[in-house]
Amino acid sequence: MSEGSDIADWQAPGLGEIEALALAAIAALPGVYAAAARAVVLRVEDFAPEEMLREMEMDSPFELTGLYEGIPLTEKSVMDQPMGPDTIWLFRRPILDEWVERGNVTLGELVTHVLVHELAHHFGWSDADIARVDPWWD
């Protein structure tokens, strides 16, 4: 914030800023994972679509910070007919709300954590695998 700027001029990080944080998190992954993660479509939206929330039986759009859609690499077969690309969704408003509620992590740390959790579904990672990539609990 520059000197003389007014709090009334502050704006919440937008979709582009959340996407930039997610892309930086992907770039920071260990090499083999970064390359594979770049093959997954990244979508950043304010909230999950209504039909997604209904399918997951969630009442509030603030309950869902991210979602992986696809077939995990550990389960893919050459016989699978893809219905669409593997996709990681990040939802800006729930992420921002969680960030404010926590108050003890940076926005980049939280976006990285949500992204890594969704990548874990894609890669078929265990909790130990996740902890090696995202030492969230340290």
- 57-113 pLDDT, tens digit per residue, is 999 999 999 999 988 877 776 666 667 789 999 999 999 999 999 999 999 999 999
Any alpha helices (H) in the chain, and if so which ranges?
Answer: 15-27, 31-37, 50-55, 92-102, 107-123, 127-133
In angstroms, the Cα distances linking 81 to 42, 96, 104, 118 are: 21, 36, 43, 22
Q: CA 49 to CA 52: how far, in whole Å?
A: 5
pLDDT the model gives residue 81: 65
Q: Which of 89, 56, 86, 88 is nearest to 71 (CA)?
A: 86
Q: Are 66 and 89 in contact (CB under 8 A)?
A: yes
Q: What is the pLDDT of residue 95?
A: 98
What pLDDT does residue 3 have? 60
Q: Please report the pLDDT score of residue 129 as a whole number.
A: 81
Q: Write out pLDDT tens, residues 16-33.
A: 999 999 999 999 998 888
Q: Is the pLDDT of residue 1 over 70?
A: no
CA distance 2 to 45: 29
Averaged pLDDT for residues 46-54? 96
Give the percent of the chain with pLDDT over 90. 63
Q: What CATH code is assigned to 12-69+84-133? A: 3.30.2010.20
Point out the least confidently predicted range of 18-22, 48-52, 70-74, 134-138. Answer: 134-138
